[in-house]
A and B are shown apart, each in its own frame.
Chain A
Amino acid sequence: MIMFVFRNNTIERFFPQDYEFSGYDDVSFIPKDADGYIWFYQAPIKFDNGLLAEEVNAYLQKFRFVMDRVDPNKTFIAFMMDLIYTVPLFNGDFRVKEAVVQYNAGLLEAASIHSNIKVVDITEFTRQYPAKELMDWKFYFLSQMGLNPRMANDFKAWFAKKLDQIALKRKKCVVLDLDNTLWGGVLGEDGIDGIKIGGDYPGKAFLYFQEALLELSKNGVILTVCSKNNEQDVLEAWEKNPFIVLKKEHFAACRINWQDKANNIKELAEELNIGLDSFVFVDDNPTERELVKQLLPMVSAPDFPVQPYELPEFFKRLVEDYFMVYAITDEDTKKTEQYKANALRSESQKQFADFEAFLKSLEIRLTIEAANEFNIPRIAQMTQKTNQFNLTTKRYTDADIKTMLAEHWKVYCVSVNDKFGDSGITGCILVNGDEIDSCLLSCRVLGKGIEMAFIKRILQVLKADGNKKIKAKYIPTVKNAQVKEFYERCGFDCVSETEFGEKEYFADLEKMDLNIKDYYKIDLK
């Protein structure tokens, strides 16, 4: 992504090398070919506070001028302003501070109206430093650098994380140890009443950690347990210790046994149908972390604090490094429920000898919707995160999807519910003209024939729209081998296959069997 940066100071050092920059304080040129835009204006150095306040106001006008002229389908990242150097000459002179507050409010207001504008709070970065270190006046005078050039690498790392958050990339699941991680002490030795949770320190620090994790799970992160303990002891503690916040129902899956944790985590990944690289392993024992790092290098295993009073800082880092996103979608907030409903479905599957009878009993309902303002963020998120059932693995932002719609692509998403619960929006198909560009489904709805019902219904729509032939593609990745034959199963003809396994398909809608099993109820909106 080549971003174009509007700026009023020398800040090239703080951004990736291939970014392009405006002239200083220059909004006369807005390149059309940039992939996205960044607005990075800093308060100028001036000693007349009235003038300075006016100048900050003028920056907001300039921002709005640019905002109205950039392509509304391209990401536009606006940095809030931080007042790094100001000398009010009398107490109570808040003119500049007020102007900065208004400037930042103006950016937020713009973001609430235009969904391509994403506001980044620069004080998240600057407040890590003492005010004096933020500027290096020598470099300011030599080349108008508005930030200390020594901070460039830290800034780049922080900004890269922000970009990931805006692109909705994050880990999905945290694997938690119990003893000395979720509570103080060892359950097997100290007993249900002896472990430290709630009450005074250190129990209070562990309580805060549990409360924090609970909020994380409400925002779409899946919690699981992997602990070396007797399962019966843990179940009893969950039931009887009133101070424990995170109980059985908060965890989508548990491995409480004496096996090695790497194997347990692998099993959790299989049970939940989540890739191992979406896991973060939290354990106080450095040996366990090392084992997991060695055997499962794709699992993140951050250092755990030695002292319980460090837990609030640890949690903050955990969120910032792995779980922050720019916005939370509805589906995120229901995630643990959905994964648990899946576990129930697998249970009931065991009772039916005949798979079709099982499917019939589920009362499956598919709701297919064309892309609209409300589901676009979720569609973009799915293209970013879905790895296994994904035919072409193309990643898109919500701005990209909007561009497609403007170019008359057909974009559909599907939500699925059955008698055990609602999975929310869990799949999408993107069609460009007569070619299926992307087709993907979240793993948690697989195994019920939904993929086949979904694509056939979409093919019916395309046929009704007058299409006779449809093209499609399979692009192999390390993760999507399970869909290698998907289009063959649908009745597409494979017309070419490269040495890398990339396949091109062709479907003759006139001849193809587009009938869908009658136990899927499908609403098309």
Chain B
Amino acid sequence: MMEQKILELMKSVFQTDGIDETCSQQNCEKWDSMNHLNLIVELEMEFGVSFEPEEIAEMRSYGDVVRIVKSKMS
């Protein structure tokens, strides 16, 4: 459920449907620094959390995002 929502947010921020669980800053050209912050803001608003700058820097792939959002929610 949460994973699904994260994928949806990534699709809407990056404005492309071609996003799956393998997405990372390495392989997705839409994931630039500006969209990274846009994604962070959307995640914070959606899940009602606030990420620390260190966590924001760590989110380099879909997997990282899911892991850090989960750790914030628990």
- Residues of A whose CB lies within 8 Å of any CB of B are 10, 12-13, 17, 138-139, 141-143, 145, 149-150, 152
Chain A residue, CB-CB nearest to B38:
A13
Chain B residue, CB-CB nearest to A153:
B45
* Partner among B15, B34, B50 whose Cβ is within 8 Å of the Cβ of A12: B34
- Residues of B whose CB lies within 8 Å of any CB of A are 15, 33-34, 37-38, 41, 44-45, 50, 53, 56
Q: Which residues of A contact B33 (CB under 8 A)?
A: 143
Chain B residue, CB-CB nearest to A12:
B34
Query: Could you pull out 10 A-B pairs where Cβ atoms are within 8 angstroms?
Result: A12-B34, A13-B41, A138-B50, A138-B53, A141-B53, A143-B33, A149-B37, A149-B41, A150-B41, A152-B41
Report whether over half of chain A's contact residues are helix, strand or loop; otherwise say mixed.
helix
Q: Which residues of A contact B34 (CB under 8 A)?
A: 10, 12, 143
- Nearest CB in chain A: distance from B31 CB, A: 15
Q: Which residues of A contact B53 (CB under 8 A)?
A: 138, 141-142
CB-based contact B41/A142 at 8 Å = no
Q: Which residues of A contact B50 (CB under 8 A)?
A: 138
A-B contact count (CB 8 A): 25
- Nearest CB in chain B: distance from A136 CB, A: 9
Q: Which residues of B contact A10 (CB under 8 A)?
A: 34
- Nearest CB in chain A: distance from B41 CB, A: 4
Give complex CA distance A14, B53 in Å.
22
Q: Which residues of B contact A143 (CB under 8 A)?
A: 33-34, 37
Give complex CA distance A347, B7 in Å.
66
Q: Which residues of B contact A17 (CB under 8 A)?
A: 15
Task: Identify the 8 closest CB pairs spanning chains A and B, nearest first.
Answer: A149-B41, A143-B37, A12-B34, A142-B53, A150-B45, A13-B38, A150-B41, A138-B53
Q: Which residues of A contact B15 (CB under 8 A)?
A: 17
Give complex CA distance A138, B34 in Å.
15
- Nearest CB in chain B: distance from A16 CB, A: 13
Give complex CA distance A145, B33 in Å.
13
- Nearest CB in chain A: distance from B42 CB, A: 9
Known interface pairs A143-B34, A152-B41; 11 further A-B residue pairs with C-beta atoms within 8 A, sorted by A's residue number? A12-B34, A13-B38, A139-B41, A141-B53, A142-B37, A142-B53, A143-B37, A145-B37, A149-B38, A149-B41, A150-B41
Chain B residue, CB-CB nearest to A145:
B37
Q: Which residues of B contact A150 (CB under 8 A)?
A: 41, 44-45
Looking at B33, B34, B37, the one whose CB has the most chain A CB atoms below 10 A away is B37
- Nearest CB in chain A: distance from B36 CB, A: 9
CB-based contact B56/A142 at 8 Å = yes
Q: Which residues of B contact A145 (CB under 8 A)?
A: 37
Give complex CA distance A142, B41 in Å.
12
CB-based contact B37/A139 at 8 Å = yes
Q: Which residues of B contact A141 (CB under 8 A)?
A: 53
Q: Which residues of B contact A149 (CB under 8 A)?
A: 37-38, 41
Chain B residue, CB-CB nearest to A138:
B53
Q: Which residues of A contact B45 (CB under 8 A)?
A: 150
Chain B residue, CB-CB nearest to A143:
B37
Chain B residue, CB-CB nearest to A152:
B41
Q: Which residues of A contact B41 (CB under 8 A)?
A: 13, 139, 149-150, 152
Give complex CA distance A139, B56 in Å.
11
- Nearest CB in chain B: distance from A150 CB, A: 6
Q: Which residues of A contact B37 (CB under 8 A)?
A: 13, 139, 142-143, 145, 149
Give complex CA distance A17, B34 in Å.
12
Q: Which residues of A contact B38 (CB under 8 A)?
A: 13, 149
Give complex CA distance A17, B15 in Å.
11
Give complex CA distance A352, B16 in Å.
67
Give complex CA distance A508, B56 in Å.
71
Give complex CA distance A451, B44 in Å.
59
Give complex CA distance A13, B38 in Å.
7
- Nearest CB in chain B: distance from A23 CB, A: 14
Give complex CA distance A12, B34 in Å.
8
- Nearest CB in chain A: distance from B58 CB, A: 13
- Nearest CB in chain A: distance from B51 CB, A: 8
- Nearest CB in chain B: distance from A91 CB, A: 34
- Nearest CB in chain A: distance from B54 CB, A: 11
Give complex CA distance A411, B18 in Å.
50
- Nearest CB in chain A: distance from B21 CB, A: 26
Give complex CA distance A16, B18 in Å.
22
Q: Which residues of B contact A138 (CB under 8 A)?
A: 50, 53
Give complex CA distance A139, B53 in Å.
9
- Nearest CB in chain B: distance from A361 CB, A: 63
Chain A residue, CB-CB nearest to B41:
A149
Give complex CA distance A409, B33 in Å.
47
- Nearest CB in chain B: distance from A405 CB, A: 40
- Nearest CB in chain B: distance from A21 CB, A: 10
Give complex CA distance A141, B56 in Å.
12
Give complex CA distance A143, B41 in Å.
12
- Nearest CB in chain B: distance from A22 CB, A: 15
Chain A residue, CB-CB nearest to B50:
A138
Give complex CA distance A143, B50 in Å.
16
Give complex CA distance A149, B44 in Å.
11
Give complex CA distance A149, B37 in Å.
9
Give complex CA distance A10, B33 in Å.
12
